[in-house]
């Protein structure tokens, strides 16, 4: 399946938050200029930088940004045509999914990941009341994993700490999605806020790139 080139997407034209010195901490700027650190340390620095940037926004601001992202997703043919969609029950600070899942689960098969040891399994979302808290990962998951669901996923929409214009994804460092993606036959979309998109991010050979990244559109004000 051919990957979408994010660099040519009009939504990214004029973005201000793309690894520019005035927007970066000194440590991350040194990495972007001339890094001698290993990839693990580079990723750690970038996660810290995104956390700093995210702290500048209120919860309500992130909810408004999230709504703009889902409007973009809903307009995509891959979403309109998909009968089964892998999503995620968002954690605080991630692109918010709860309302989106509530809105669509009656029309599409909404599938959510379930952490099982060092891998992700899949379960069908039926209703919010059936979600159970995973105390180890501090997230909510559906019950009743079914490995056959891997064959049904047509579209996977996943979060990340950061993405770049070549569709590389930086996650939380456990590699769950990188191990899951090869088991799927889906079109894979990463979703992120504008401050999570960079020109380039550190990645390793086992980091699976997205087919496309959907970012909150930039609103220019005068």
Q: What is the pLDDT of residues 32-62, one digit of tens each?
A: 444 435 778 889 999 999 999 999 999 999 9
The predicted pLDDT at position 28 comes to: 52
220 located within any domain = no
- What domain range includes position 20? 6-215
Domain with 61 in it: what CATH number?
3.40.50.10420
Residue 221 lies in a domain: no
| Position 1 in a domain | no
Per-residue confidence (pLDDT) for residue 219, from 0 to 100: 53
What's the structural domain count of the chain? 1
Assigned domain for 21 exists = yes
Alpha-carbon span 128 to 108, nearest angstrom: 15
DSSP output for 105-122: TTTSEEEEEEEETTEEEE
Residue 78 has pLDDT above 90, yes or no: yes
In a domain, 50, yes or no: yes
Distance CA 200, CA 18 (A): 9
- The DSSP output letter for 130 is G
Query: CA 123 to CA 125: how far, in whole Å?
Result: 6
Rg of the chain over Cα atoms, rounded to whole angstroms, equals: 17
Residue 110 has pLDDT above 90, yes or no: yes
- What digits encode the pLDDT tens for the residues 137-189? 889 999 999 999 999 999 999 999 999 999 999 999 889 999 999 999 999 99
The answer to whether residue 136 is domain-embedded is yes
What is the pTM for the complete model shown? 0.82
Is 75 inside any structural domain?
A: yes
Chain segment 5-22, per-residue pLDDT in tens:
333 333 332 333 344 434
In a domain, 187, yes or no: yes
Does 25 score more than 80 pLDDT? no
Residue 122 pLDDT > 50 = yes
pLDDT at 168: 96
What separation in angstroms does the CA of 216 have from each of 25, 61, 95, 197? 23, 12, 10, 10
């Amino acid at each position: 399946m051919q990957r979408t080139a994010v660099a040519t997407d009009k939504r990214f034209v004029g973005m201000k938050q793309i690894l520019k010195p005035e927007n970066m901490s000194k440590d991350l700027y040194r990495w972007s200029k001339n890094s001698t650190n290993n990839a693990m340390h580079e990723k750690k620095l970038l996660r810290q930088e995104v956390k700093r940037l995210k702290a500048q926004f209120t919860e309500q601001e992130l909810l408004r940004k999230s709504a703009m992202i889902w409007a973009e997703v809903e307009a995509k043919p891959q979403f309109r045509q998909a009968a089964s969609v892998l999503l995620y029950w968002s954690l605080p600070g991630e692109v918010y999914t709860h309302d989106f899942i509530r809105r669509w689960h009656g029309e599409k098969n909404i599938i959510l990941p379930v952490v099982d040891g060092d891998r992700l399994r899949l379960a069908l979302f039926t209703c919010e009341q059936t979600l159970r808290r995973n105390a180890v990962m501090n997230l909510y998951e559906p019950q009743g994993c079914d490995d056959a669901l891997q064959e049904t996923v047509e579209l996977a929409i996943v979060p990340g700490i950061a993405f770049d214009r070549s569709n590389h994804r930086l996650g939380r460092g456990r590699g769950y999605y990188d191990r899951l993606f090869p088991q799927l036959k889906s079109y894979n979309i990463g979703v992120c806020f504008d401050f999570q998109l960079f020109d380039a991010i550190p990645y390793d050979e086992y980091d699976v790139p997205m087919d496309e990244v959907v970012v909150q559109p930039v609103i220019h004000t005068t």
